[in-house]
Amino acid sequence: MFLPLPQRYKVPLLIALTIAIGVIVFAPEVNMFTALFAVLGAIVGFIFLDAEYIAQAYLIDFHNEHSIKIREYFKNKRFLTLIRYFDQYEYQFGEMSLRSALFQVLLAIFGFYFITTNANAFAQCLSVSLFANLLYAQILEFASTKNISRWFWILEVNLSHEAQKLYIIVMSLVLVFHIYYL
């Protein structure tokens, strides 16, 4: 039986596959393994973000009400309900490791390294897909809540609205450079 792709994953999957296609098309040498690793890396890049919710529920914060719900849905194999739960409470999960400015900056640096050293297609697609989907999630959060201060939890400061906008613009330019150097 075919289950439709949840709305939550349509644009991130499109972003991931676009990056994979770009890496495949512009690769100096294309073979089936390069294409397979590019697509696999891009898909892992966008799935990795939601896997953090599950990791947090099982490894980091056991007693949080969200963690209890996530473990319940996961244990009962109610995956579509779990995805709806992610959608409904997305901005209430609090501080997350992957959804942080520090991780995003480190990912930008590693992404440039993988791209400029012509690392394998999996590493390139994983880093750029993850970075692009993080930026997409950040833009969605900013559009929805007009605030992305939880992304800066490591800094322990509240950035102004303009500083948050500037950060998104800078990260967008970094993504453009990533894509340009693919």
- pLDDT of 3 reads 59
- pLDDT of 108 reads 96
Q: Provide the b/e sequence for 125-144 (b: ≥16 CB within 10 Å).
A: bbbbbbbbbbbbbbeebbee
- pLDDT of 1 reads 46
- pLDDT of 2 reads 55
Q: What is the mean pLDDT of each run of 10 residues along the chain (182 residues)?
A: 73 95 87 94 92 89 89 92 89 86 95 89 95 96 92 87 96 95 85
Residue 167's CB is within 10 A of a number of other CB atoms, namely: 19
- pLDDT of 124 reads 94
| Closest alpha carbon to 131 in 170, 158, 103, 164 | 103
93, two tokens? 């999960």
Q: How far apart are CA 180 and CA 53, in angstroms?
A: 31
Residues 16, 77, 92, 15: what is their CA dihedral angle, to the nearest 10 degrees?
10
69, two tokens? 């719900």
Residues 163, 99, 102, 54: what is their CA dihedral angle, to the nearest 10 degrees?
160
| Closest alpha carbon to 129 in 24, 56, 20, 4 | 20
Q: Structure pTM?
A: 0.91
Domain range list for the chain: 7-181
- Read out DSSP for the chain? -PPPPPHHHHHHHHHHHHHHHHHHHH-SS--HHHHHHHHHHHHHHHHHHHHHHHHIIIII-TTSHHHHHHHHHHHTT-HHHHHHHHHHHGGGS---SSSSHHHHHHHHHHHHHHHHTT--HHHHHHHHHHHHHHHHHHHHHHHHHS--GGGGTTTTS---HHHHHHHHHHHHHHHHHHHHH-
